């Protein structure tokens, strides 16, 4: 069976440990069979039974679990760089939206793509993400909003998951915004979302349902209705909460038993306490906060309160047009006061929990998938401190090399 050898240091979060408690193993090797780790330890202790001569060298690099981006809007049409430039010059988002820009513009461009274009675009991003050491991505629909484009988006994610290089965890985000054609009849749109939740669950097109709870999106009561449909369909819930205003979104996520509450730039003290009590994972998205020149999500405050904190990119054409997850981790340290070890944990073990895959990924130990990244860095601190364009030399997903520098 194949063995990854010549590992300078292997670093992995530990199952059940406090966030940021990492196991460090110098001069290590990892053996795997059929994509699953069978043994890891000091290379000098590698049992002959694990070594059939198929060796992949880590060339002295740092080996971490494959990175998990637990929050992206991966499939969308077009970009919005022109809007970004206008906002930098002082035009407000409301003015841009009134002129036909914003999410509505991305929705129109996404609906205009055929199936092949949707898949090819997402696949091109996925290839670049794998090169950064990412092996799993949560991907939301929500730029189609009509029945047909939402389903086509989720089919594209299923196809991408089959083809690689990433594992793709699909999320139905029909409750992103009320689309233009329903603006005079929100009720009908909420009914459509509820119907779609059952539809995508029956066809196994989504693992999660996400609701954007914000004054400009969906109300607490609308979220409660969608959450009931989600539970009835056997899917898990995520909530976009407290991004633009402190509207009780985190408290609602806790009340509804959501797996994660995402964003949280404006979370209240009561919201922090509610997440801690409910065991809800906080997914912080420091790139979106930076691009909006908004306060950073209070990662330190959440961790101190006992809330597990995942760090993700929020990759989307409006507020986070980069999928550079290591950059998000560095930002989570600098602006969110996470330690580098906590940040790594937040993009591996805790991110895996946030996407419901903790049984298979996020930690390097026997029985878990051989998803790993080999970094040209002496340790985690140096990796996130130096933040090169790309420090990743090699990525393995299920034991298969998906990127090699």
Residues that bind Zn ion (CB under 5 A): 314
For residue 363, the minimal CB distance to Zn ion (Å) is 25
Q: How far is the CB of 78 from Zn ion (least distance, A)?
A: 17
Q: Which is nearer to Zn ion, 64 or 331 (CB)?
A: 331
- Give least dist CB 388 to Zn ion, A: 26
Contact 300, 279 (CB under 8 A): no
Q: Which residues contact 277 (CB under 8 A, 6 or more apart)?
A: 254
> Among residues 29 and 355, whose Cβ is nearest to Zn ion?
355
The two three-digit tokens of residue 48, written as one number: 């002959």
- Give the residue nearest to Zn ion (CB): 314
Give me the DSSP letters along 299-343: HHHHHHTT--EEE---BBTTTB----HHHHHHHHHHTT---HHHH
Using alpha carbons, list the distances in angstroms from residue 57 to 53, 103, 190, 307: 12, 45, 53, 37
Give 69 or 376: the residue with its C-beta nearer to Zn ion.
Answer: 69
- The token pair at 227 is 């959450």
Shortest distance, position 104 Cβ to Zn ion, whole Å: 16
Nearer to Zn ion, 11 or 351 (CB): 351
Which CB atom, from 76 or from 383, has the smaller least distance to Zn ion? 76
Separation between Cα atoms, residue 128 and residue 212, nearest integer Å:
28
Question: Does residue 165 have a cis bond before it (omega within 30 degrees)?
Answer: yes
Least distance to Zn ion from the beta carbon of 256, Å? Answer: 18
CB of residue 287 vs Zn ion: minimum separation in angstroms?
11
Residues 192, 174: contact at Cβ < 8 Å? yes
Helices 115-131 & 147-163 angle (0-180, nearest 10): 40
**What six digits make up the tokens of 244?**
């633009």
- By beta-carbon proximity to Zn ion, the closer residue of 222 and 376 is 222
Q: What is the closest distance, in whole angstroms, from the C-beta atom of residue 107 to Zn ion in the complex?
A: 15
Q: Which lies closer to Zn ion via its Cβ, residue 171 or residue 230?
A: 171
Contact partners, residue 42, CB within 8 Å, separation at least 6: 25, 26, 27, 28, 29
């Amino acid at each position: 069976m194949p063995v990854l050898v010549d590992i300078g240091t292997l670093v992995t979060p530990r199952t059940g440990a406090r966030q940021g408690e990492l196991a460090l193993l110098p001069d290590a090797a990892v053996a795997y069979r059929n994509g699953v780790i069978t043994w890891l330890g000091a290379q000098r202790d590698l049992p002959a039974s694990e070594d059939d001569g198929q060796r992949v060298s880590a060339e002295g690099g740092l080996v971490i679990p494959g990175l998990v981006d637990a929050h992206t809007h991966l499939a969308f049409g077009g970009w919005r760089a022109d809007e970004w430039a206008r906002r930098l010059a002082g035009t407000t988002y409301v003015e841009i939206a009134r002129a036909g820009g914003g999410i509505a513009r991305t929705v129109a461009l996404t609906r205009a793509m055929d199936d092949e274009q949707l898949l090819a675009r997402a696949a091109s991003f996925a290839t670049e993400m794998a090169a950064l050491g990412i092996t799993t991505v949560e991907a939301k629909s929500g730029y189609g909003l009509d029945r047909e484009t939402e389903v086509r988006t989720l089919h594209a994610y299923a196809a991408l998951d089959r083809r690689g290089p990433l594992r793709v965890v699909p999320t139905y985000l029909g409750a992103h915004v009320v689309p233009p054609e329903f603006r005079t009849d929100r009720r009908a749109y909420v009914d459509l979302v509820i119907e779609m939740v059952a539809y995508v669950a029956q066809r196994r097109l989504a693992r999660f349902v996400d609701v954007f709870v914000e004054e400009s999106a969906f109300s607490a009561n609308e979220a409660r209705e969608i959450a009931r449909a989600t539970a009835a369909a056997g899917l898990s819930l995520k909530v976009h909460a407290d991004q633009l205003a402190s509207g009780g979104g985190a408290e609602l996520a806790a009340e509804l038993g959501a797996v994660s509450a995402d964003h949280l730039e404006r979370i209240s003290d009561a919201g922090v306490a509610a997440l801690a009590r409910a065991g809800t994972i906080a997914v912080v998205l420091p790139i979106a906060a930076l691009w909006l020149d908004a306060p950073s999500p209070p990662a330190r405050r959440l961790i101190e309160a006992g809330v597990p904190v995942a760090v993700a990119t929020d990759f989307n054409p409006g507020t986070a047009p980069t999928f550079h997850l290591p950059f998000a981790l560095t930002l989570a340290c600098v602006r969110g006061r996470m330690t580098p070890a906590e940040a790594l944990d937040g993009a591996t073990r805790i991110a895996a929990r946030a996407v419901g895959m903790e049984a298979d990924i996020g930690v390097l130990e026997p029985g878990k998938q051989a998803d790993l990244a080999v970094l040209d860095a002496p340790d985690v601190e140096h990796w996130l401190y130096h933040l090169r364009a790309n420090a990743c030399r090699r990525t393995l997903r299920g034991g298969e090399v998906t990127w090699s520098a």
